[in-house]
Structures are given as C-alpha cells and as structure tokens.
Amino acid sequence: MSTIAAAPAHATNTDEKVWGGGHSPFKVSYGKLMMWFFLLTDTFTFGALLISYGSTRFFSSVWPEANAVFRSSPFFEGVNMPLVFVSFMTFVLILSSVTMVLAVHAGHYNDKKGVIKWLLWTIVGGITFLSCQAWEWTHLAHETGGVLWGAFSDHNTPISAIQNFFGTYAGHQLTPADHAAALQSTHDFFNYFFTITGFHGMHVTSGVIFNIMILINTVNGTYERRGHYEMVEKVGLYWHFVDLVWVFVFTCFYLI
C-alpha cells in the first residue's frame, strides 16, 4: 500500500490533485457521503410510492376532495376546518427541522450546551408531529371504519356513505353513474394515504430514536472527546430529509 500518498506534490493538473488519492475528493467523510447516498435511495422509494399514487389518481374518473376528507381538528368536533390541523403538523415539522439545523450549527462551534438544547427541542417537535399523526389516523380510521372499512370495494355500499369524502357543495355531487368508480377511488385514496403517511411516520419515529441516541452521546461527552459533532450532522441530514418528504406528501395528498 506504499502507493497511497497525500495529495501528490508532483501533481500538476487539477484532476490529479482531486482524484489522485490520499484525500476525499468530495471533502466529506465516508459516513456523511453514505448518508447522502442512502437518502438518495430513500428518495426513490418515496418517489415510487407517490408516483404510483399519482398514476392511480390519473386512472380514476372521480377522486376524493382533500378539503372534504381532512376537515377535522381535535377539540373542534363537528366544526368544518379544512387543512387547519395538517397545516399545524407541517409547521411543527418545519420548526423541528430548524431546531435540528441549529443543533448542527452549535456542533460546528463545539458548543455542547447548544447541541443539547436544540436536540431536545427537535425531539419534542418530532414527538408532537407523531402525536398529531396518531390523532389524525385514529380519526380517519374511525370515519372510514365501522361500516365502511373494507366496504369501499363492495358494490352494495350506497353512494351516500362516501359522498362526504367528495365534498357536498355544488358540482361535487356524485351521480349513480359514478358509483363503482367512486367506491374504487375512495378505497385507493385511503390505501395510499395510510401507506405513504405510515411509511413517512416510521421515518419520523426512527429519526426521533436517532436523535435520542445522539443526545445521550452528547450529554455523555462522546463527541466532545472525539473533537467534533459530525454525528449530529449526519443524523441532521436524515431528519431534514424526513421534513423534505413531508413537503411532497403535503402537496400530493392535502393540496392538489
């Protein structure tokens, strides 16, 4: 292995200096580069889920209306509040992304107290988001449960039972001709909704666990002894990615 040499002094052209070996051409460590590559693969997993959702939606002649499906909020039973609760969830996730980047920033300056403070806030934000999602899931499972769960593909289910997912204002009344298509698209909509937000929620859950792990390491002084807080940066990348995915989930399910 004697051929390994630090940025060769005799190297004259730029390519040789960058790719000649002995140092990282990307100026990142192995771990950070691999985190980026992992996130790239995860992008394609989420992309595949969202694109198949889009494909199914284009396939369907009628589709549930987001403002009608997501119209409830805790503590306001029966009040029509479209998008309000999910906007709150989105805001919480954005804020937790901000506190995470502040933890990374504190790590850049070896500020242990700052890292601990901002990681704690990030964990609080993550748990808040998960609690909100738990409420929303319970609520929607209740709305679609009981009589309806598994009944969307049963043609004996009356059209009136699913009208509320399509909105009740003028121009959104389902006609008898829509019956089969409406049942099928409601079925598809909720399948994709629970699958994709569930997959995202699992990412948030593991992100919270990673955050707790690096918080413990920070408190124990592991990174202080190591001389840098790169692990906070790597977990930070993962956490921002979770926020990034939510930006697209929010658009695809709640807005368009």
Interface of this chain with another protein, residues 69 to 128, rule: CB under 8 A: 82-83, 87, 90-91, 94-95, 97-98, 100-102, 104-109, 111, 114
Site string for another protein, 190-229 (x = CB under 8 A): ------------------------------------x-xx
Residue 237 found at the interface with another protein (CB under 8 A): yes
Task: Compute the distance between CA of residue 114 and CA of residue 119 in angstroms, rounded to an integer.
Answer: 8
Cβ proximity to another protein, 148 vs 186, nearer residue: 186
Residue 233 found at the interface with another protein (CB under 8 A): yes
Cβ proximity to another protein, 5 vs 134, nearer residue: 5
Residue 180 found at the interface with another protein (CB under 8 A): no
Per CB under 8 A, contacts with another protein among 29-58 are 29-33, 36, 40, 43-44, 47-48, 51-52, 54-58
Residue 139 found at the interface with another protein (CB under 8 A): no
Cβ proximity to another protein, 141 vs 219, nearer residue: 219
For 211-239, give one letter per residue: b (16+ CB within 10 A) or e.
Answer: beebbebbeeeebeeeeebbbbbbbbbbb
CB of 21 vs another protein, minimal distance in Å: 9
CB of 15 vs another protein, minimal distance in Å: 11
Structure tokens at 51: 């694109």
Task: Give the phi and the psi of residue 110 in degrees, each rounded to 5.
Answer: 50, 35
In 70-178, which ranges are continuous DSSP H helix?
Answer: 84-108, 112-144
CA dist list (Å): 238 to 4, 72, 229: 33, 30, 15
Contact residue for another protein among 13, 14, 27, 147 (CB under 8 A): 27
Count, residues near another protein per rule CB under 8 A: 76
SS3 content of the chain, % helix, strand, coil (to 5): 70, 0, 30
CA dist list (Å): 246 to 18, 120, 143, 229, 240: 36, 21, 23, 26, 10
CB of 24 vs another protein, minimal distance in Å: 5
Task: Compute the distance between CA of residue 46 and CA of residue 43 in angstroms, rounded to an integer.
Answer: 5
Cβ proximity to another protein, 91 vs 149, nearer residue: 91
Residue 24 found at the interface with another protein (CB under 8 A): yes
Residue 5 found at the interface with another protein (CB under 8 A): yes
Nearby residues of 139 by Cβ (< 8 Å), 6 or more positions away: 72, 74
Cβ proximity to another protein, 64 vs 82, nearer residue: 82
Task: Compute the distance between CA of residue 256 and CA of residue 4 in angstroms, rounded to an integer.
Answer: 54
